């Protein structure tokens, strides 16, 4: 019988081959297994999800836009400082046969009571913008109630009517603010198109170029009663929208009648 003698060098070679083979098998089977495991969604996939399909992101959200089949939109005007351009806005709205929704702040109401009466007399809708313009996400439910009720007492004394719409100062809110305001009987309304006309240095052309391409049925436009360039851009905005077949209405007219739902993107639509 012939005896095969394996040298130390040969043993090292054999062990090296076996080691490499083992590593290869481990990699192979791990890859096979990974194909059966679900992979985490990419950012692109997450972006394609409906936000209201992700439970972790569930929250109370105001109305940002309304689902409409017709070309109906709403112009809203926040009033919290000065009033020298408000008469121009009212006259322009009359000129084009438009009714808007004015969200008034309490300090403005106290400073310009006759202008509040004029807004109501012209047939425009008045919404509540808080008494003192606080950060609503930093105050208690009781403080929120006081902010709204105190202002509506003022509005009612001037116009004979209380409001049922609310816009949060600075656009800031949390679940406590939204739930408290809705429990009081108000709808919370934000916007999906912002003129950013409060920012000095923006030209009328810049504002129009930012706003007009975004117009869609159910849009809510935010402007300010003393916004920079509003005397230039407002007539052009209205003319363009009307030429494109859009009709301006108040927020109450824009909202669906009866029960409604609001998804996590702030899109409001009829319930059911």
Residues with catalytic function: 78, 224
DSSP string over 226-255: T-TTHHHHHHHHHHHHHHTT-EEE-HHHHS
Q: CA–CA distance from 82 to each of 97, 226, 233 (Å)?
A: 25, 6, 19
Beta strands in 84-218 (DSSP E): 101-104, 125-128, 165-166, 187-188, 193-194
b/e sequence 252-267, b meaning 16+ C-beta within 10 Å: bebbeeeebebeeebb
- Residues 178 and 169 sit within 8 Å (Cβ to Cβ): no
Phi-psi region of 133 (alpha: psi -120 to 50; beta: other; left: phi over 0): left
d(CA 163, CA 155): 8
- Residues 249 and 105 sit within 8 Å (Cβ to Cβ): no
């Amino acid at each position: 019988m012939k005896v095969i003698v394996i040298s130390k060098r040969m043993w090292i070679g054999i062990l090296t081959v076996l080691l490499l083979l083992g590593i290869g098998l481990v990699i192979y089977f791990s890859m096979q297994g990974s194909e059966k495991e679900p992979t985490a969604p990419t950012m692109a996939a997450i972006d394609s999800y409906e936000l209201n399909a992700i439970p972790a992101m569930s929250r109370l959200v105001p109305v940002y836009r309304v689902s409409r089949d017709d070309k109906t939109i709403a112009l809203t005007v926040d009033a919290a400082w000065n009033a020298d351009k408000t008469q121009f806005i009212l006259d322009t709205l009359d000129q084009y046969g438009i009714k808007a929704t004015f969200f008034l702040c309490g300090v403005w109401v106290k400073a310009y009571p006759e202008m509040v009466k004029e807004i109501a007399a012209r047939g425009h809708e008045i919404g509540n913008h808080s008494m003192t313009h606080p950060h609503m996400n930093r105050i208690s439910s009781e403080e929120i109630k006081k902010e709204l009720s105190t202002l509506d007492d003022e509005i009612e004394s001037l116009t004979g009517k209380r409001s049922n719409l609310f816009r949060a100062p600075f656009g800031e809110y949390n679940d406590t603010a939204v739930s408290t305001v809705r429990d009081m009987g108000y709808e919370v309304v934000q916007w999906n198109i912002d003129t950013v006309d409060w920012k000095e240095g923006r030209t009328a052309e810049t504002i129009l170029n930012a706003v007009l391409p975004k117009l869609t049925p159910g849009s809510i436009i935010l402007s300010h009663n003393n916004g920079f360039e509003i005397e230039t851009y407002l007539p052009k905005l209205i003319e363009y929208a009307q030429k494109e077949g859009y009709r301006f209405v108040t927020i109450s007219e824009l909202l669906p009648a009866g029960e409604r739902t609001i998804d996590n993107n702030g899109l409001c639509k009829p319930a059911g």
